[in-house]
Structure 1
């Protein structure tokens, strides 16, 4: 019968651990000599350096095929999306007329969004284009030549322009304004040379009377063809996309209203159930009064 191994003391265990970390006799650190550690570090340095170089080479080759001005593949839908401003969570515009803290953030967001549309800014940066036709600007043998942008003056939005510093876009009197914008699409020619506009209505016909007549600015919610095509942010530096304002001057208070706005243009489908934002946007409005 083998004898039971003698139980090592704590000091012996500590001495063995110290010898493993650094053995002065064999000059080994953690069980390896300096040469062994050097070879291991050299291997990993070469291995990971090769991987980093391969990744950098792959990225460089890929970037040579990418145009910084126009996406190489534009497999998006033929109809651009729409969105509202002020930006809200869940497309829900809800506030209480008598409680300014419930709508002040909407006013600030609209002021901030419309700052680039100030008439003075537009006059300084953009050109007075010919309305009623596309603003095509060929490169004339100079690829990606900077393009001029057409003016969209903030004053076109009427009572929804918010030109006065204290203007509250109608939120303080229960007649709020909501801005509609069409997403930018490079080389997009909507309308087939015919006028385009935005139309808004209650999603349910039985709610139309409670929502009341809507006011659109510019009149009839029109979007002029001169703002198309868009050539991309690197070339069309000062491009200011057109917006349409809708004011709810007659909406019944303390009720939920579901509104849908659509882009009305020849050749554009806005009834695709697979994409709720293709050429349209639906949002909820509730105006509370104490």
Structure 2
């Protein structure tokens, strides 16, 4: 009997025909509480939308208000085979080095002279390409300077489609990561890249050739104004050709940017302004 009573209580709680209550509330009570929550959540949504609108009015579509990236740019090499930054191949095995040549072809295709002539501006070299706004009038989109792959000469892949990998004189291409507003320079002149062996490999690296000459990043490619403001920006490149590196041995190499306003690494970021990698060229199976 107790069970029948409990069952009746539950039925009456779900729907009480005498008081016409559903789950303990009448229709008017349910209507009022639903109306309250509807108004409450509409108010919250409106407050959120208003807050976002006010905040967005303070932002510039073309330049971030705050930059969470490091002010000191890092350096990157191409071709990049893996995260370990190791370039290892055998001259006698085409498949071991052809992937590097293909990777450089793909990387350099946007730098073809015809593509650059169509998209970018022919700038005056050896001076910063300033494109400031005029008061409230935004100078957007901003122009970008041409960087033609022919500047890389022996490492352009035009005259030597294998970038020297087939004869043990490989090319490595270096780029400096983008930092908005950065204007690197060395005593008023273009910053430049230098590469050398780690201490244990001093006698293994041999002679190097740099393209463009002296391994410079011309001043005309700076400052960088951001992805939205400078949609066609082409990062300048420096190529290093290893002319007589010691074969059949690991050679640990470090390249760094030389500029007055780019510090040489720190405890916070040991790789700021520099990049290290291993190069090994085998000549026997």
Instruction: Bin the TM-score by the shorter chain.
Output: 0.7 to 0.9
Normalised by the size of structure 1, how large is the TM-score? 0.80
Aligned to 2:156: 161
Q: Offset of 1:47 from its aligned partner?
A: 2.8
1:189 equivalenced with 2:183 (yes/no): yes
* Residue segments in structure 2 that go unaligned for 5+ positions in a row: none
Counterparts of 1:1-290 in structure 2, within 5 Å, are: 8=3, 27-30=20-23, 32-74=25-67, 78-97=71-90, 102-140=96-134, 142-163=137-158, 167-191=161-185, 192-204=187-199, 206-288=200-282, 290=285
| TM norm structure 2 | 0.81
Change (3 A) 1:20 1:271: same
Displacement of 1:154 after TM fit?
0.5
Deviation at 1:30, TM superposition (A): 4.8
Q: Structure 1: which 5+ runs fail to align?
A: 1-5
- Which sits farther off after the overlay, 71-80 or 148-157? 71-80
| In structure 1, distance between residues paired with 2:18 and 2:248 | 88
Structure 2 Cα separation of the partners of residues 43 and 87 of structure 1? 60
1:133–1:193 CA contact under 8 A, matched in 2: no
Aligned length, in residue pairs:
281
- What secondary structure is seen at the aligned counterpart in 1 of 2:178? coil
SS at match of 2:106: helix
Tell me: CA distance 1:182–1:27, structure 2 relative to 1, closer, same or farther (3 Å).
same
> CA, structure 1 residues 8+73, in 2 after alignment: closer, same or farther (shift >3 Å)?
closer
Superposition RMSD in Å: 3.2
Partner SS state of residue 211, structure 1: coil
Q: Secondary structure at the match of 2:39?
A: helix
Aligned residue for 1:144, secondary structure, equals: coil
The whole-number CA distance in structure 2 between the counterparts of 1:28 and 1:176 is 85
Q: 1:3 aligns to what?
A: none
Of residues 117-126 and 96-105 in structure 1, the stretch that sits farther from structure 2 once superposed is 96-105
Counterparts in 2 of 1:140 and 1:7: CA distance versus 1, 3 Å: closer
CA contact (8 A) 2:131 2:139 kept: no
**Aligned partners of 1:126 and 1:148 also within 8 Å:** yes
Give the Cα separation in 1 of the matches to 2:173 and 2:149: 12
Change (3 A) 1:171 1:26: farther
SS at match of 2:203: helix
Instruction: Give the conservation status (yes or no) of the 8 Å contact 2:132–2:139.
Output: no
